[in-house]
Structures are given as structure tokens and as C-alpha cells.
A and B are shown apart, each in its own frame.
Chain A
Amino acid sequence: MSDLIWSAIAPELVLVILSGLILVFGVWKKPPLRSMAVLVGAGLVATWAAWGLQLSRLQDIVDAGSFGALAFNDMVITDGTAVIARLILMVILTLAVALAWPMLDEIGQRSAEALVLMFLATAGFMLLAAAANLVMAFIGLEVGSISLYVLAAVARKSRLADEAAMKYFLLGSFASAVFIYGVALLYAGSGSVSIDALRSFSGRVIVSPGVLYVSMAMLVVGVLFKVTAAPFHAWAPDVYQGSAAGVVGFMAAAAKVGGFVALVRIVGITYIRFAADWRPALAAIAALSIILGTLLALSQTDFRRMLAYSGIAHAGFILVGVAAGRSANEAILFYLAVYTVQLVTAFGIAAIVSGPTSSGSPFSAYKGLASRSPFLAAGLATTMLGMSGMPITSGFIGKLGVFRAAWEKGLEWLVVVALVASVAAFFFYLRVIVDMYMRDPDEETSDVAPEPAVAGRVAIAVAVVVTVLFGLYPSPLLDLIRNVVS
């Protein structure tokens, strides 16, 4: 058992141990949230340290693995992509915990559950991103997804939240089933469930060649569901509108990171020989997601629904990179990093504006926000500009990266579609800014001045600085991704 390389899963280990501690401590002692904060803070620091350890040991892990960077009986792969995916997940976890604090405060006793679910979801998606075996990927996917289903209803306050959680659970389970069926068919077709099952594939199949195509389609569809790509997106708006405000940003972001990294591996490693088949299909799904997400986002009256639809469009933008193939991997990771930070921030601000356990966040609540809470308005404005891909924000660099890669690979039409949609998308991103800066508040909200708690304030400030900094000078992050990934 020489390949039990613990540092290959160090961050997940810390997160799981931390979850256990919180659960025990929380259930037995029922401590006030304040003392829990110490444990959570220490745990997050430990997770970061574990990640740092992993990064510094990256070369050792690669050398010690039985095959390249594989560990745990070829279940877990430790490569740059996995390390960066963990980094992104930890960033959004840290931001999300800071932004969710008012909600945790409000739900009292259940705050321990919420925290545990967030940590377990993170660990699950980390494993999904690091899975070298599709059964492992399924376990990671399910640990992550099931935690999110429960998290959706953690505030347990409104019927909308129940509906959201139920819908998410039913459709999510269905997608997971599709995914595992795909794994089974891959096994039927190749005799392996390893991520590189078809690496030495000779072309002789056990059942029939069609099986492999079906397995590919099912694996891809299962993951596309999780990342809210059209036409597998229908659940997203209801879920993101209805779920507990404090954690919905985390829910949306974590699933996207894990899902996209898994997708990149599935199409880029498992089915790389079928690139000629999946490339046009993914390009079409990308175009559909972009167009549908953008068009539907235009007509929303609720900020969180709008974010959900814009998330569908963003899934499309990232798919543009996935369709471009391997050369876009760094651009995809950069895009995921900056977009998910913006996503968590935007939902976090929505939770501050509409209340930490609210279901929904109507646009009218944002009217005149700039005069009531200048800090929040500036934060949200920057986030919206970042999401829209406005130059000087990191969103632009992300888009530039994936579009450039797609253009190089001959997907010119897709780039044009994506760019036209980006312009249309300005309309709904700017709408929030219009409401905040250019309209007067409604009468009932005119003297409401929502203010974030200290932790939330810091999180928003960090997100804004990161968004602008990596927009003006993206090299540090791009270089980190490149050095680690290659």
C-alpha cells in the first residue's frame, strides 16, 4: 500500500475532521456561535495550511504515485488542475462562511449543521475534481450534491425554500443516476471505470461501440446538469431563488467548480479520442446555454433569479473553453476562479440586502442602494461589471482567455455568438447598477440601510479588490495556474 499518500487528500481530510469536530461540539455542547467561530476559523486556517502543504509537495506526490500522480489505488489524481480546483473551492468556502455568518446567527441551533454541510460539500467537490476513477468521481459528486440538497433548506423558513430543496433533490438525484449509469456503460464498453479507461483502448469493444457513445453522453449530461448548462438548467432559477440566502452563493459556486473540472477530465482524458464527436456537441450546448441564459435573464424581476440565469450563460461561456479542448484548461480555471468569487459575493450581497434567510431578492430592494449603503452598492456594482466581462475587471480576462482558445481551435462562430450575448448581458447587469445608483428608493425601503457584518464586509472588500486587481494585472493568478497545471 505504498500509494496511501495522505498529502494527496490533505485538504479534504482536514475538512472532514473539522466537520466531525463541529458536529460533536455543536450537538453536545450547543455552544454560542461566537465560540464556534474560533473552531471554524482555526479549521479554515488548517485547511489552507493543508493545501499549502500539498502545493509544496506537489512534485513529491507526483513522484511517489504508482502511476504518475495517482494515489489510493489509482482513485485520486494529484495534478495541477486538482490543486487549483481545491484552491478555488477553499476561496469560495472562506468567503461564503464569512458572508453566511448573519444567517448562521439567525438559524441558531442549526448553524452547526449548516457549517458541516458546507465543509462536507467542499470536501466532496474537491474529491470530484481530483477523481482519477469515475466511481470516485461519483462519490465526490454525491457527497457534494447531497450536502447541497440539505443546505438548500437549512433555513427552513419558507415554503419556497422547501420547494427549492425538494426540486433540487429530485432533479439532482436524477442527474446523479444518469451519471452512474454512464459509468456502468463505460465499464461495459471498456472493462474499466478509470478516468483513462480508454487510454489503451484498442477499438475492440465488448458490447458494441455505441455503448461508449452513450456512456459519454450520460456522463457529460450528468455533469452538465450540476453546472446548470442548458438544456439541463431548468431547476437552477427556482433553487437559487428559494434556497437560504446565506449559503446559496456557495451552493451555486461549489457545484460549478467541481462539475467543470470533472467535465474537463471526462472529455479531455476519458473520451479524448472522441474529440471530433463531443466538440461540436459541447459547442452547441455552450451556444444554447449562452443564448438561453442571457435571454431569460433579461426578463427577470428577482435579482437571484437573474443571477441564476446569468449563471446558465456563464456555464455556456466556460463550455466555450471546454469545447476548445486542452489548450483552454488554464483559461477555464482562471474563469472559474474569478467567476465563482463574483458569484459568492453577489449572492452574499443579496443576502445582506434582502435578509439572511430570505427566499428571493426583488430588484425593488436595490433601488437607491448607493445612497443608503454606498459600500454595498460599490461592491455589487463591481461584481456586476466583473460578471459582465467588463474590461478592467477579472471577468474580462477570463472571457478573453476562453474566447481566444476557442478562436484558435476554429470555433469562430461560437466566439461571435458569445460576444454578442455578452453585450446583451450588459443590459441586465447594468439594470442592477441603474437601480442602485440612478433611481430613488421606494418609500418602504427609503430608510433601510442594510450593512454587512465585519466578516462580510471584509469578504466583499477582498472580492472587489481581487476582481479589479486581476482585471488590471492578471499575471500572478495566470502564472500560478500555469506553473501548477503544467
Chain B
Amino acid sequence: MDFPMLSLLILVPVIAAAVVMLLPKERTELHLPVALVLSLLPVGLGGVLFARFESVAGFQFVEQAPLIERWGVSWHLGIDGVALPLILLTTILIPISIAASTSIAKNAQLFLVMVLMLEAGLIGVFSALDLIVFFVFFEAILIPMYFIIGIWGSENRIYAAIKFFLYTAFGSALMLVGIIALSVMQQNKTGVSSFDYTVLLGLEIPPATQAWLFAVFGIAFAIKVPMFPFHTWLPDAHVQAPTAGSVLLAGVMLKLGTYGFLRFNLPLFPDAAVRFAPVVATLAVIGIVYGAAVAIVQTDLKKLVAYSSVSHLGFIMLGIVALTQNGLDGGVIQMVNHGLTTGALFLLVGMLYERRHTKLIADFGGLQKTMPIFAGVFLFSTFASIGLPGLNGFVGEFLVLIGSYATLPGFAVVATAGVVLAAVYLLWAYERVFTGVADKPENQDVPDLNLRETLIFVPIIALTLVLGLYPKVLLNRIEPSTAGIIDRIEATTDYVEPTFVIGEPSE
């Protein structure tokens, strides 16, 4: 076994959290800088992962040690091209969220501990190859997020925190049923219980069983995504959460759902995946259009961004259930893109709120003149989110659309409307907030981004450009793994990926 990189990556944030917790309580000026510096360590480790990651199918950086031998639970970690980008995204967004949390006044120490514990949990989820270990991390991240929303959120925070927790816990309970069922199936087949993902892949599950297992896993992940009609917790959680909470929620936690579909639903239940693809695609497309339509009519800027997530995540789901190479690639890369752009938008809304203590679009106007840098960053993020060619969003959406057009043409056509609607709600919001004359006196001298805030956006903007101009840097690493998923589906079902392929977008 190689050096346990992934365990280290999970452990470092835990240690960082412990260090922050042990800092003297009254030295408040120390807490945030220490947490920020420590949170950069995982970024470095992530860089090592990225550099040493080979563009081949299968899991890398694998490590395995028994945990509960009798039940076949083991500390089995490993990542492939689907998990790698999400781990990198996590490590990058954490220091950004910490740096953006200077306005947390009440018990900032505990807040930083929670953020760091959240990071450990997220990295754990994306690298777990044992279903129980996965489930433990999947559930455990609820705790820090619950505290983040519930303690540091705005007025209605307790309601939002409990709703968020219960919704997700309900889905998880269903998934646990499926996990237990899988292990018992394995035991009946071989006499030895196992929760190991790579072992369970060898199960030949009858189609009827696949159907309900797909459903219980699917609902758990659909709640997390969230897919229509399981999305109602999302606006509450986002609007009430503090900025860092929203950034991490939208940036990373929602991807747990889409990741779960890719990691579990497709490879473990290929037959059901093929059969239910149109159902999931229908919900995805409803989500795209519905999320966009609701975003248009929002009067609250944060809610607008929240609903835009419903729409964007619909795209990702459509790409995944398209069951084509392009669709899956687009889905994965769009997960990263959405994390970056929506993260940026939530950061911007948060900074605006810190200055003006309102999030209502109608309270703003003409901000472009007083805060040009801010407006510029906002416009850039808007363009990235809309999918302007040259920026990252374009690559993802384009791949999703051509990928889904190959197998689900009708859905792809409707989904295209979502692209147009995204332009409507975001640009219209930009127009109302930033252009025109600042007729309200309180908008006339809003301070622009300071150095710290500007620096926060530098990595996001850089990555947006890199992924927009040279997506191959990530796609290279994603493709072998997504191809593996398609191969598996083709090998175990009658499904054949259509050969109709438009080809790569030119670079």
C-alpha cells in the first residue's frame, strides 16, 4: 500500500479543527488567520493528488484496512476521475469560505471548527469506497452544516436548519435500507457479508430488486441534489445560512447527490439506471425550467442564486442520466463549474449584505459606479454561470447538451431553454442592481471590494478561465472513469451508447 494520502487529507482538517479549538478563547484575532493558514494545507495536498493522478480508469490512492470484520466493513478509500475534481473543489472552497467569514461575530472559534470538520467529512464522502464509511461521512457532514445554519444563520435559521437536517436524514435512512439489503444479498450469495463497493459491484442483482434499490439510493441523492420535487429545503437553507454556509452548501454539498448517482446508482444498478433514465431526466428538466422560472421572479438576490442552483443541478443530472460519455463528462465538469460560479455569486451577495444589510434587489440600483470592481466580478461570475463561451460554464453545458441530445433529444431541447432563462434572470438581476442611477442615498457611497475580498475571488476567477479555455486539464482525468461507467452499463445490460458523437468542442 502506498502512503495513505487520502486518510491524511481527511485527517489534516480534523487536526486543524482541533488546533483552532485549543486556541485561547479570548484571543479572537488569532482564530480566523490560524484556521485560514491551516486550511491551505489540504489545498497543497490536493495539488499533490492532482499532479500524481494518472489518467486511467479505476481507483487510485487506494488504501484499505478492516474496521468491523464480521460485517465486512473496511476503511477503504480511493478516488477516480469523478471524485478527484470534487475533492479539489472542496479543498479550494474551504479557505475561500473561511476568508469570507470575517463578519462572524458570535463564537467564531466554533464556527471555524465546524467548517474544518465539514471539510474532513466532505473529503471522506468523496473518497470512501465502503458503503458504511460513505454513509457515515454522508450523514456526519449534516452535523457541522446544521450548526453552521442554526447558530450563525439569519432570523429564520432554526427552522431552516431543522428542515435541512430532517430532509436529508430521511433520504439517508432510505439509503441505509438499501445498503443493508446489499450487504445481506452479498452474504446470501457468498456467505460473507461485505459493504465494500468494489465487492458489491460483483453482485448480479435481479432487475426488480435493482429497481427499488435504485429508488431508495436515488431518492436519498435526489434530496441532496436537490431535484424537483425534493428541492423545497434548499431555498430555506441557503437564504438563512451565513455566506460560508451557502458557498459550501451550493459549492460542494449539493454535488454529493449528483456524485452519488454517478458512483452508486449507475454502476451498481445499471439495469434500473437505463430503465429509469427518462424518469430522472424528466425531473431534471422540470428542475431546470422550474428553477429558472422561479429565479426570475425572486425579489431576494440570495434566493435568486439559490433557485439558479436548482436549475443548474438539473443540467448536471440530465448529463448523468444521458448515459453517454459526453453527458457524464459534462456532468462532472459542470459540478466543478457550478461550485465555482455559484460559490462566487453567494460570496458576492454576502459581501453586499454586509455592506447594506439587505438582499432585496429593489433596494439596490446603480451600484456599478460606486463599486466597479465588485460589479465587474459579479458580471464575470454571471457570464460564467450563464455559460458564455470561453468561460467554464460553457464547456459543461455544451457537453451535457450534446451528450443528452444523443439519447434524450426531447429533453435536451427543453433543457436548452434553461440556458436562455439563466441569461434572463442573472442579467436582469445585474441590470437592476448595478446599472442605472443610484437614486437611493444609501447606495451612493457603498465601499468597493477591499484587498482581502478581491483576493478571495482571484483563485475562483483564475480557475473559471482555465477551465473555460483549457478544460482538457480536467477532462483528461475525468474521461477514463466516466468511460468505465458507460462500459459497465453496456456490459451488464442491452444498452448501447449511440455512436452518434459530435466530437469534442474545439480548444
Contacts and interface: CB of A to CB of B under 8 A. Distances in A.
A426 B67 contact: no
Given A434-B158, A475-B67, A391 B136 contact: yes
Nearest to A396: B136
Nearest to A371: B107
A390 B143 contact: yes
A241 B161 CA distance: 29
B71 A404 contact: yes
A61 interface: no
B416 interface: no
B330 to A, nearest CB: 32
B283 to A, nearest CB: 22
A187 interface: no
B346 interface: no
B140 interface: yes
Contacts of B193: 404
A213 interface: no
A408 B184 contact: yes
Contacts of A17: none
A419 B181 CA distance: 13
B176 A419 contact: yes
Given A403-B180, A407-B180, A426-B165, A473 B67 contact: yes
B140 A404 contact: no
B428 interface: no
A68 B128 CA distance: 45
A421 B146 CA distance: 20
Given A404-B180, A404-B183, A408-B184, A438 B150 contact: yes
B53 to A, nearest CB: 28
Contacts of B157: 438
Given A391-B139, A403-B180, A416-B177, A426 B169 contact: yes
A429 to B, nearest CB: 10
Given A423-B170, A430-B165, A482 B184 contact: no
A475 B176 contact: no
A474 B173 contact: no
Contacts of A430: 146, 162, 165
A482 B173 contact: no
Interface string A425-468: 01100100010011100000000000000000000000000000
A419 B143 contact: no
A390 B150 contact: no
Nearest to A392: B140
A430 B177 CA distance: 23
B166 A423 contact: yes
Contacts of A385: 143
A403 B139 CA distance: 17
Contacts of B143: 385, 390, 392
Interface residues of B, number: 38
Interface string A85-105: 000000000000000000000
A478 interface: yes
A122 interface: no
A150 interface: no
Q: Label chain B's interface by main secondary structure.
A: helix
Given A391-B136, A408-B187, A420 B173 contact: yes
A264 interface: no
B147 A437 contact: yes
A415 interface: yes
A401 B68 CA distance: 11
Interface string B132-168: 1001111110110011001100000110011001100
A415 B184 CA distance: 13
Contact of A391 (B135, B146, B151): B135
Interface string B396-409: 00000000000000
B354 interface: no
A284 interface: no
Contact of A437 (B138, B139, B150): B150
Interface residues of A, number: 32
A292 B123 CA distance: 38
Contacts of B161: 434, 438
A438 B166 contact: no
A243 interface: no
B68 A407 contact: no
Nearest to B167: A423
Contacts of B139: 390-392, 396
A438 B149 CA distance: 10
Given A385-B143, A426-B166, A430-B162, A482 B70 contact: yes
A408 B187 CA distance: 9
Contact of A478 (B70, B181, B187): B70
A422 interface: yes
Nearest to A401: B71
Contacts of B70: 478, 482
A415 B71 CA distance: 17
A292 B490 CA distance: 48
Contacts of A401: 71
A423 B181 CA distance: 19
A423 B173 contact: yes
Given A392-B136, A404-B180, A438 B165 contact: no
A474 B184 contact: no
B233 to A, nearest CB: 14
Most chain B beta-carbon contacts within 10 A, residue among A400, A434, A474: A400
A475 B69 contact: yes
Contacts of A438: 150-151, 157-158, 161
Contacts of A427: 162, 166
A431 B211 CA distance: 36
Nearest to B107: A371
Contacts of A392: 136, 139-140, 143
Contacts of B180: 400, 403-404, 407, 415
A437 B161 CA distance: 12
A407 B151 contact: no
Contacts of A404: 71, 180, 183-184, 193
Given A416-B177, A419-B173, A419-B176, A475 B68 contact: yes
Nearest to B137: A391
Nearest to A475: B68
A423 B169 contact: yes
A423 B193 CA distance: 26
Contacts of A412: 181
Interface in B189-205: 193
Interface in B210-236: none
Interface in B172-186: 173-174, 176-177, 180-181, 183-184
Given A385-B143, A391-B139, A419-B176, A437 B169 contact: no
Most chain B beta-carbon contacts within 10 A, residue among A403, A415, A423: A423
B150 A434 contact: yes
A426 B150 CA distance: 15
A91 to B, nearest CB: 21
Given A404-B71, A438-B150, 17 more contacts: A391-B140, A392-B136, A392-B139, A397-B68, A400-B132, A400-B180, A404-B184, A407-B184, A412-B181, A419-B176, A437-B147, A437-B150, A438-B158, A474-B67, A475-B68, A478-B68, A478-B70
29 contacts: A385-B143, A390-B142, A391-B135, A391-B138, A392-B136, A392-B139, A401-B71, A403-B176, A403-B180, A404-B184, A404-B193, A407-B181, A408-B184, A415-B180, A416-B177, A419-B173, A419-B177, A420-B173, A423-B170, A427-B166, A430-B146, A430-B162, A437-B147, A437-B150, A438-B158, A474-B68, A475-B66, A475-B68, A482-B70
Interface of B: 66-71, 107, 132, 135-140, 142-143, 146-147, 150-151, 157-158, 161-162, 165-166, 169-170, 173-174, 176-177, 180-181, 183-184, 187, 193
Q: Considering the complex of A and B, which 10 residue pairs feature the smallest CB-CB distances, nearest first?
A: A391-B136, A391-B139, A419-B173, A438-B150, A392-B140, A423-B170, A423-B173, A423-B169, A407-B180, A408-B184
Interface of A: 371, 385, 390-392, 396-397, 400-401, 403-404, 407-408, 412, 415-416, 419-420, 422-423, 426-427, 430, 434, 437-439, 473-475, 478, 482
